[in-house]
Amino acid sequence: MYTSFIGKKFLATWNLREGKNLSAREFFDEVLFPLFFDDERHLMHVANSPFFQSVSAKDLLSGKREPEIRRENLHQSVATKKPNASFFVGFAAENTSATTSGQMTVMPGKPVNAPVLENPLSPERQTPTILAIDPEEIYASWIGEGLAAGVGGGFYLLIDQEDLLWGIFEGWKVYRKYLMQTPNLKGRQIETWNGQWLAHWLDGGDADTLKIEPVKKVEQKTKQEHWAVPTLEWTKLVLALCRRFPGKMMTIYAYNLSQTNTTLGFLNLNLPEVYRLYELRDKIFINQPDSVLNYQEIADLEPLFSFKPACKFGLIGLRAIEPKKLREYLPQNDPKRNKDLNLSKEEYHKQFLIFKLWICAMLNKTELLELAGQLADILVNFESSGGDRGTTKEDRLSDQVRSATNLRTFADKWGEVLAKMSGLNNFPENSAETIRNTIHQAVKMPGDHFPLFVALMRFEYNYLKNQARNK
C-alpha cells in the first residue's frame, strides 16, 4: 500500500531531523500511539482494528489500561496473523467473501508464518494467500494514513513531499489539543483535520492563528447530534498548494477507505497553470481598486466538479476548477435561456470577477480581455444608435451577437453590425478593425475556448450597462 511507502518516507525524514533511528514499530509506540490512541478519544479510525474493539473483562483483570491492552492486541495481530485490513491500513480483507478480497491471491507464495511446502503447486497451496509482508510495512501504513489529507467527497490525498509531510505531522499535536478542548467534538477525523491544517499551514498559519469552526452532524443510526471538523473543499487545498509552489508540477495519490476501498490512483496537479489565477489577478485588476479579489476570495471559488469527477480530466488544472454556475451564463442554443449577471448586488459582482478571472486564465491571453471590453463598448454604442424607441433592431442584433453559440453565427452577426455602423459616426475609433481582429482571433481559438470568449464579452457588456445605470 502507498500508505506504507509514505509512512517509511516520513519516518526517514523524522529520524534524520530528530537524530534518531527508530523503526516503524518503535515510532508507532513512542510517537504515534501516545498522540492517537492513548486516550478514549482517538484521532484516527481503522475499521475493525484492535483500537475499534472493546476490551474483554478478562484482559482488564491484568490491571493494564484499556489503551495499553489494545496496543498489545495490535502487536499480537501483526506478529501472528495474516495481514488484513483490520491492522494493515488499506490492505485486503481477511477472507475471500469480503468486498476488498481482490487484493488476495492464489499465486504460490509464502503466507506470513506459514511453513514452506515442498511442492508449491500442491492442493494445500491452492487457497487464497497473502505473500509475506515485513511487519515494518504494516506499522508504516499507520504512519502513512496519519499523514493523509482529506478533501470533499470522502477522498484522502497522500503527497510525496518531505516538507508537506512534516507540516502535516506538526498538526498532530494541534489536533489532539483541539479535540480535548472542544466539547462533544467527534474524534477519529485525522484525515479531515489534516486537510484543514495543511491548507492553513501552506499559507504560513500556525496553531495560534488557526480558526476551524466545527459543524453540527447527525448520526444516521442513532440520530444523535455531535460536532465535527468540517471537510475541506478540494479546490482550497489545490489553490493553497499553487500559492506555495507556483512553478511545480506535483503528483498526489488519491483514495478512500470504507466498506469498499476506492483508489483514484496517482494524479498530477498542474500548479503553474492554476497559479495563473493569481498572476492574472494582478494584471487584470491592478488599476481597478473596486474590483480586486483577495487571496481568500479566490480560494473560496466554488467548483462545478466534486473531486472524483474532476479527476476524470486526468490532470488537475484550471479546467478541473471551473467555477460553479458559470455555464448558466454561457451562450445557449435557445436564446430565451441566456442569462445576464445582475451586477447591482455585491454577491453577484464578486461572482462576476471570479468568472472573468477564470475565463481569462483559461484563454491565457490578456489581449482577449481587452478585445472583449472593446466589443462590449461597441455593442453598447450600437444599441444607443437606435434611439429611445424601446427594443429596437439594434438591441435585437446586439443580443444575437452576445448569444452566438458558434463561430459562423458570431461572424455573421458582427458582419450585420458592421454594415449598419458604416453610415454612423458615434462609434469608438477603429471599431471596424476591432471586429475584424476579433473574428481573426476567434478562428484561431480551440473550439472549447470560443464560448468562454463570448461569455467574457457578455460579462464586459453587463459591466458597462450596470455602470451606465448607476450614473
pLDDT for 346 equals: 75
- Final residue belonging to a domain, choices 324, 355, 378: 324
Could you give the percent of the chain with pLDDT greater than 90? 68
Residues 165 and 86 in one domain: no
- Report the DSSP pairing between strands 149-151 and 155-159: antiparallel
Residues 381 and 455 in one domain: yes
pLDDT band at 386 (very low <50, low <70, confident <90, very high): low
Model's pTM, two decimal places?
0.89
pLDDT for 118 equals: 53
* Residue 390: CB atoms within 10 Å: 7
pLDDT for 112 equals: 47
Burial class (CB in 10 A: 0-12, 13-18, 19+), 54: exposed
Residues 173 and 286 in one domain: yes
Nine-digit cell at 286? 491592478
- Final residue belonging to a domain, choices 95, 114, 139: 139
Beta strands in 122-274 (DSSP E): 149-151, 155-159, 215-218, 225-228, 249-256, 262-270
Q: What is the pLDDT of residues 144-169, one digit of tens each?
A: 999 999 999 999 999 999 999 999 99
Q: What is the pLDDT of residues 308-340, one digit of tens each?
A: 999 999 999 999 999 999 999 998 877 677 788
User: What is the rounded CA–CA span in Å between residue 282 and residue 298?
Assistant: 12
Dihedrals φ, ψ of 245, to 5°?
-130, 65
Cell numbers 483577495 correspond to what residue? 294
Residues 179 and 227 in one domain: yes
- DSSP alpha helices (H): ranges in 19-116? 24-27, 33-36, 57-60, 66-80
User: What is the rounded CA–CA span in Å between residue 143 and residue 2?
Assistant: 11
- DSSP alpha helices (H): ranges in 245-365? 271-285, 295-299, 307-311, 346-363
Nine-digit cell at 467? 455602470
Cell numbers 506538526 correspond to what residue? 170
* Residue 60: CB atoms within 10 Å: 12
Residues 243 and 285 in one domain: yes
CA distances from 339 to 24, 178, 330, 396, 402 (A): 58, 46, 8, 15, 11
pLDDT for 425 equals: 64
Nine-digit cell at 363? 484563454
Residues 428 and 372 in one domain: yes
Nine-digit cell at 121? 503447486
pLDDT for 293 equals: 85
Q: What is the pLDDT of residues 221-259, one digit of tens each?
A: 777 888 999 999 999 999 999 999 999 999 999 999 987
- In DSSP terms, which residues pair with 251 in a beta bridge? 268
Q: What is the mean pLDDT of the chain?
A: 88
Domain membership of residue 422 as a residue range: 332-470
Residues 83 and 15 in one domain: yes
- Final residue belonging to a domain, choices 324, 359, 380: 324
Return the minimum-mean-pLDDT range out of 96-100, 109-113, 198-202: 109-113
Q: What is the pLDDT of residues 345-370, one digit of tens each?
A: 777 888 899 999 999 999 998 899 99
Residues 317 and 338 in one domain: no
pLDDT for 99 equals: 53
Residues 191 and 167 in one domain: yes
Dihedrals φ, ψ of 455, to 5°?
-65, -40
pLDDT for 105 equals: 55
CA distances from 378 to 86, 331, 341, 461, 471 (A): 68, 19, 19, 9, 19
Residues 125 and 61 in one domain: yes
Domain count, the chain: 3
Number of H helices, E strands in the chain: 18, 7
Average pLDDT over residues 95-114: 52
Residues 131 and 156 in one domain: no
pLDDT for 283 equals: 82
pLDDT for 210 equals: 96
Residues 134 and 152 in one domain: no
Spatial CB neighbours of 221, under 8 Å, sequence gap ≥ 6: none
Q: What is the pLDDT of residues 259-301, one digit of tens each?
A: 788 999 999 999 999 999 999 988 887 555 555 788 888 999 9
- DSSP alpha helices (H): ranges in 32-92? 33-36, 57-60, 66-80
Cell numbers 445557449 correspond to what residue? 332
